[in-house]
Amino acid sequence: MSLFSPTAAVSYFFNYFLMKGVLVTIGLTVAAVVGGLILGMGIALLRMSSNPVLAGAARFYIWFFRGTPLLIQLVVIYSGLPQLGIKFSVITCALVGLILNEAAYLAEIVRSGFMAVSAGQREAAWALSLSPWVTFRRVTLPQAFRLMIPPLGNSINSLLKATSLASVISVEELMRRSDMLMQEHFQILEVYAAATAYYLILTSVWDAVQRRLEKHFGRSSAAKTRRVAASAPVAQASAGARA
Amino acid sequence: MQPQLREVPAVRMEAVYKHYGDFTALNEVDLKVAKGEKIVVCGPSGSGKSTLIRCINHIEKHDEGLIYVNGVELDHQRKNIDAVRRDTGMVFQSFNLFPHMTVLENCTLAPMTANGMSEAEARDLAMHFLTKVRIPDQAEKFPGQLSGGQQQRVAIARALCMRPKIMLFDEPTSALDPEMVKEVLETMKKLAEEGMTMLCVTHEMGFAREVADRIVFMNEGRVVEQAAPEEFFKHPKSERARTFLDQIIH
Ligand SMILES: Nc1ncnc2c1ncn2[C@@H]1O[C@H](COP(=O)(O)OP(=O)(O)OP(=O)(O)O)[C@@H](O)[C@H]1O
Ligand SMILES: [Mg+2]
């Protein structure tokens, strides 16, 4: 028996069963990003509100979900909540856990994006009699969004890999299906080589998309804005890898 | 000056106070500005000059006292704030152009969204004022591609596109390299010649001498002295104004 069989690895790479796991991984990621963004924006708004109760609740949410491992969150939702009579399907559990967790990260990214847009921009908008909605939609949001793209991209990269934790609650995504193949054939290195290749492909594709987005939204390339971006606290929000 | 006094003044402030926590940034300020009048506000750093003019368009909320702009009372009601902001244009030390929009878009945004102007109309209007500040050829560029002086002239054009009756300037040339100060001051002089009511915080004493009808000198949140430029520069009444002028002229 050889140490490592490249042909076996290649055949796992093209294994239909594994490919379907890749699609589940992609699906989980996309759903968690969309859900997390919607929820995260809501939490960011609460966090920035002048009402101390709302702001405090949002702060608690962020503190809680960033301060505990995603793994525990998933397990509690999957096996803990049924004890209280709350039961979801496996895939719903995974989505709820991923969205709740991702929202906490994205809320901080959204918030620091808005905080990094200088007060002078809003003041100029007010002085021009722009309505609050136009000020948000045309002045603040586009500038905040541009600052959010890099940390947003990092968070999505990290989420893509974090979906593998859903394997623990038996969601048949890429990681879980690799485990299943491995247990069937005992070709550990070969199976995980294929899985690793898929994760690398997914993260690389996303990197390329992110670069395109950055280029697209950075096209006015104002020297002044770049200085603002460099000094903004946005980068911090994205720091802190997920467990 | 005499006949104008019977008209509604452009700006009237009565016993205005503004506090930041325990700190009093405006301390019983009274000020009346007639239509068409050009006021230069000066004073040492931290004396409340910016706060004063930012209260006039309610970017800063005053805490006590009365402010009327063209007869409209700034009483913190949305409707009145909006009316006042439509009558006033503001130019900031740091330009505050919208960096993600072209020069033209900077100028057309407010006319289109706040005044419901069509794009074509707004464009004509913007080009009219960009021509007036002598940069029509930069219309398609982004602010970051322009020099400071050009950016500030765009900011002036952008404000003018809302056809304000009063222009507020907060140290419009302080962030500029010396060689660009002149082009901005020239633009402001032209505006003054056309009869615009202007309140201008500036340390450009040459400009003040030439353009201002009145100098308002502030110190520690108070209006300490008001006089025609001639008199203010030759015979400052307060000790504080004398030391200030000594510092600034040398
Ligand atoms: N948002 C704020 N919070 C607390 N204090 C403030 C705030 N804005 C201004 N101040 C204080 O109010 C005082 C007056 O400020 P203001 O900006 O009006 O001064 P200024 O005369 O324009 O000074 P400068 O020449 O430096 O621009 C300063 O001492 C400043 O520290
Ligand atoms: Mg100031």
Which residue of A lies nearest to B55 if distances are taken between CA atoms? A127
Which residue of A lies nearest to B141 if distances are taken between CA atoms? A220
User: Is A132 touching B (CB cutoff 8 A)?
Assistant: no
**Interface contact A128-B109, CB threshold 8 A:** yes
**Interface contact A143-B97, CB threshold 8 A:** no
Q: In angstroms, what is the span from residue B202 Cα to ligand 2's centroid?
A: 9
Pocket test for ligand 1, best of B41, B51, B52, B222 (most atoms within 8 A of CB): B51
Q: What confidence score (pLDDT) does residue A220 get?
A: 53
Among B141, B153, B168, B158, smallest CA distance to B106 is for B158
User: Is A243 touching B (CB cutoff 8 A)?
Assistant: no
Shortest alpha-carbon distance between residue B51 and chain A (Å): 13
In whole angstroms, give the CA distance from residue B52 to residue B201.
10
**Interface contact B100-A126, CB threshold 8 A:** no
DSSP classification of residue A77: I
Cross-strand pairs, B169: B91, B200
Please give the helix or strand (H or E) that residue B88 lies within, else none: strand B88-91
Contact A149, A214 (CB under 8 A): yes
Residue nearest (by alpha carbon) to ligand 1 atom 30: B46
Mean per-residue pLDDT of chain A: 89
**Interface contact A129-B85, CB threshold 8 A:** yes
Q: In angstroms, what is the span from residue B117 Cα to ligand 2's centroid?
A: 34
In whole angstroms, give the CA distance from residue A85 to residue A202.
37
Contact B106, B98 (CB under 8 A): yes
3-state helix, strand, coil in chain B (%, to 5): 45, 25, 30
DSSP classification of residue B21: T
Chain A residues closer than 8 Å to B94 by CB: 120
pLDDT classification of A1: cutoffs 50, 70, 90 = low
Q: In angstroms, what is the span from residue B171 Cα to ligand 2's centroid?
A: 7
Number of other CB atoms surrounding residue B79 within 10 Å: 9
What's the average pLDDT block by block, 10 residues per block, for chain B (250 residues)? 68 97 96 97 96 96 96 92 96 96 97 96 97 95 96 98 98 94 96 97 95 97 96 94 87
Q: At B91, give phi and psi (nearest 5°).
A: -120, 130
Among A118, A121, A222, the residue with its CB nearest the CB of B144 is A222
User: Is A126 touching B (CB cutoff 8 A)?
Assistant: yes
Cα B76 to chain centroid, rounded: 21
pTM of the full structure:
0.83
> For the purposes of burial, counting CB atoms within 10 Å of the CB of B116, is it exposed (0-12), middle (13-18) or buried (19 or more)?
exposed
Count CA atoms closer than 13 A to A40's CA, side-chain side: 28
Contact B176, B152 (CB under 8 A): yes
Q: Is a pLDDT exceeding 60 seen at residue A241?
A: no
Among A121, A128, A221, the residue with its CB nearest the CB of B110 is A128
Number of other CB atoms surrounding residue B130 within 10 Å: 25
pLDDT classification of A89: cutoffs 50, 70, 90 = very high
Q: What confidence score (pLDDT) does residue A2 get?
A: 72
pLDDT classification of A53: cutoffs 50, 70, 90 = very high
Contact B166, B50 (CB under 8 A): no
Interval A92-108 mean pLDDT: 96
Chain B residues closer than 8 Å to A225 by CB: 99-100, 144
Q: Are strands B197-201 and B38-42 parallel, antiparallel or unpaired?
A: parallel
**Which position has the token pair 């056309």?**
B194
Chain B residues closer than 8 Å to A146 by CB: 100
Q: Please give the interface size between A and B, counted as residue pairs whose CB atoms are below 8 Å apart.
A: 79
In whole angstroms, give the CA distance from residue A41 to residue A110.
7
User: Is A121 touching B (CB cutoff 8 A)?
Assistant: yes
